[in-house]
A = this chain, B = another copy of it.
Amino acid sequence: MPEHKHAAYFQLFNEIAILEQLSRALLEARLPNGIIAPHFAVLNHLIRVQDGRTPVELARAFQVAKTTMTHTLSGLEKHGLIELRANPDDGRSKRAWLTDKGRQMRQKAIEDLMPEFEKMADTITLDNVESVLPHLTKLRMFLDRSRDI
């Protein structure tokens, strides 16, 4: 692969890094005080995949250190958005359960974000998103796999 072809891959990761920062800022401006993007991401995951996940499962899903997930979950618990209960299947482990307050907070945040998505749709249509997503997902899965090895 010649030099100039690497440039495209480079640029891709550069855009991803900046997009991550911008979208995090956009999101956090619409979340209650003290709630940050990782909190919201965990709430979403617990809705999408089902709650009752363990901290290690969540850390893997988001590719963060498990110490980081401990910290994130304790923040969610302190705000009453989740409950951590012992895992009956494994005495070392815990499971995270959404509270009503957690579900409501997430729902409200999503509603507050809808106008942003509407505005965005002029720049990147739903068709665009749907054409881009599979490539990013494949790349994410590839990087995920190659990390484990």
Q: Is the CB of B17 within 8 A of A37?
A: yes
Q: Once the chains bind, are A16 and B14 in contact (CB under 8 Å)? A: no
Contact (Cβ within 8 A) A17 B1: no
Q: Which of A81-121 contact B (CB under 8 A)?
A: 110, 113-114, 117-121
Q: How far is the CA of A18 from the CA of B128 in the complex (A)?
A: 20
Q: Name the residue on B nearest A141 (C-beta).
A: B123
Interface size on A, residues (CB 8 A): 58
Identical subunits present: 2
Is there an interface contact between A11 and B142, defined as CB atoms closer than 8 Å? no
> Chain A at the B interface: mostly helix, strand, loop or mixed?
helix
- Contact: B1 with A143, CB < 8 Å? no
A29: nearest chain-B partner, CB-CB: B147
A20 at the interface (CB under 8 A from B): yes
B129 adjacent to A9 (CB under 8 Å): yes
A19 touches B136 (CB 8 A): yes
Are A15's CB and B118's CB within 8 A?
no
Give 17 new A-B contacts, CB below 8 A, not counting A13-B23, A26-B143.
A1-B121, A8-B129, A9-B120, A10-B44, A12-B129, A13-B27, A15-B140, A16-B19, A16-B20, A17-B62, A18-B144, A20-B20, A21-B64, A22-B63, A22-B144, A26-B147, A132-B132
